[in-house]
A and B are shown apart, each in its own frame.
Chain A
């Protein structure tokens, strides 16, 4: 019989406070097959792991069980330790007595009893565990980056610089993202364009980066190291291989379309580039606004284009690519002003959001950097900035802090003062949060030297009165309500995930968290990875973050990809499904239940086989198999039966 060692972790007080760990160890010793049991305060620490390794050798253990936290956290840690001591890694199992026991119970007696049952269950599994070898999988050393904002650009450049090929897919016609819309950036007030556009150019010219702008992800299949991606290259109705970017077509186009890039504060033609510094600097025709597409007449752009680049017959193209890793850097949006009923629901003319104010401040914006309000073009003498517009409001809008608003609102007020010296900015805030290098100093300078009035309180209502926009708020520091008749109001609207995120994650089969942002594998220790292997996260798609953090995360994600590509091959967990060829009746029910396309019919053998590289070991086909032909390694029917018995207190 196997000699099994049980190692019970206190996890400081996380487990030991609720579970009598010493008793768990004592009771484990009484279980069939258990030859050794010991508790320790931090099993994952170096002394803890040393204890495990030493006892494997000293006690001649054939298998070990670590009764501790979730296997998601430290299974790989302890399997590596077991391997170091000469055990096959699949002879190491985790009994989760933290997340599934101590954290969810308070009655010490009952929790201890449950912990003993959990260990007994895992002992039953471990007794019948086979030693396995990892399945080698080849790697396509080419990365896909989805999203061409600063996160996607930085990640692409880092991967490309290390010598690997990158496909950078962007749904708009130009890369640059939100950062291209910004005026100047906190806390140093570098001009956003000046620091971003060189990177855009570098990404556009890099021999290892293939830009696919005006493109979207259609389909993704495969697995880490071997993804197949179908990309839709949307019809731009301009032959970009001919177009030299002269811009004549855009000058002549008679259509007027509200500019999304300029946050509806300006218009462009139906044929347009979003901004003059676009990369690639090639126009697209917006089919919904184009007069020719709507009425069948016009084609003015075609007439003025001397090189014949306009092509009204163009259709969406699909390309298929093979990549080994995917970085998701799809960015953010802001909560629409129209969603905020108490702030006028978008019907108050001189009430705009922060991104629109960026365009008013930007030297390349619709007012060439002069602050002029939308209703009548007047220079506002009093501006009210309203923070937490939709953020930190769990009852009505978003429960979380959008993180960037405190800093950018202070920057807005500061830049406004630099442009309109006799103007008066007011900022309503709940708390000022300036965690970041140089951020608190930036805020203090603005408060002390720039005559910006900070008012501590949430604004209750904003409405139009004549040509003024009236703000009702409070100042909890004086205990007095505040009323300001402003010329312009700027809302720091909540940072939210892009609408398209939900659809994209379905295609990629990755997860989002409760607020729709991409979910990371571990909030502290694996912040740039998705829980699904081969997918990495960068930028505000994962949660609100500013430019330095975005760039850092993008480089982190790129580094993970580079580390993946530096290996000769990958190792896939061998605890997957397998088929007893004699028993398979080829009913193919397994094919229909497999979420990973890992089951396929083998014409020659006339059975349904398992593609081990695709199989994630979820067990769906094992449960569905009518004739018991499909089994899962180290989770055989006999193992599960004895585990169920043990969990119910039987032997």
Chain B
């Protein structure tokens, strides 16, 4: 592909796949943390079609898995999707290949947090709202969305 000749960065650059990229360990790490096999996904899209929050996501769940398959970690850990996922298990119960996609989302959040990407902190919540939320709920939210 032609190099960027002093122009603005390309909006949709090609993925240059190499042996190293697809074997960086990102996919393997997701597999280990989630206990799932990312290569088992054959991209039917059932997880996305049933997801109640899909309309709020920047990358649909099936495409998140696709990007893991191709070792595109940056795209995923910087995505909104992994934080918007409510862990409702809809995708998990529907997956025809038995992949626990919710567990994959958990793993991706964990990797993002390991990289220091906090999606949510105590300072980001309105104190009034915090006061009205039951404490276990607050703890749960911090555990899921922050380091």
Contact = CB atoms under 8 A, between A and B. Distances in A.
Interface of A: 381-382, 422-424, 426, 444, 447-449, 451, 453, 455-456, 472, 475, 477-485
Given A478-B72, A480-B14, A482-B14, A381 B42 contact: no
A447 B42 contact: yes
A453 B22 contact: yes
A448 B43 contact: no
A510 to B, nearest CB: 42
A424 B19 contact: yes
B16 to A, nearest CB: 5
Interface string B15-48: 1111100110000000000000101101100000
Contacts of A475: 15, 66, 70
Contacts of B17: 426, 453, 455, 482-484
B23 A478 contact: no
B42 A456 contact: no
A444 B40 CA distance: 7
Contacts of B72: 478
B19 A483 contact: no
Residue among B37, B40, B69, B72 with the highest chain A CB neighbour number at 10 A: B69
Given A424-B19, A426-B17, A483-B17, A478 B67 contact: yes
B34 to A, nearest CB: 15
Nearest to A481: B14
A448 B12 contact: no
A381 B22 CA distance: 13
Classify chain B's interface size. Answer: 20 to 34
A448 B40 CA distance: 5
B19 A381 contact: yes
Contact of A424 (B1, B12, B16, B23): B23
Nearest to B12: A480
Contacts of A483: 1, 14-17
Contacts of B143: none
Contacts of B43: 456, 477
B39 A424 contact: no
B16 A477 contact: no
Given A423-B19, A477-B43, A483-B17, 10 more contacts: A381-B19, A448-B37, A448-B39, A453-B17, A477-B63, A477-B66, A478-B66, A478-B70, A481-B12, A484-B17
A423 B20 CA distance: 11
B18 A481 contact: no
B124 to A, nearest CB: 31
B31 to A, nearest CB: 11
Contacts of B62: 477
A449 B67 contact: no
Contacts of A382: 18-19
Interface string B102-119: 000000000000000000
Contacts of A479: 12, 63
Given A448-B40, A472-B1, A478-B63, A485 B14 contact: no
Given A424-B23, A483-B1, A453 B69 contact: yes
A444 B23 CA distance: 20
Contacts of B15: 475, 478, 480-483
B42 to A, nearest CB: 7
Tell me which of B13, B40, B66 has the highest count of chain A C-beta atoms within 10 A of its own C-beta.
B66
Interface string B56-91: 000000110011011010000000000000000000
A475 B39 CA distance: 16
Nearest to A487: B19
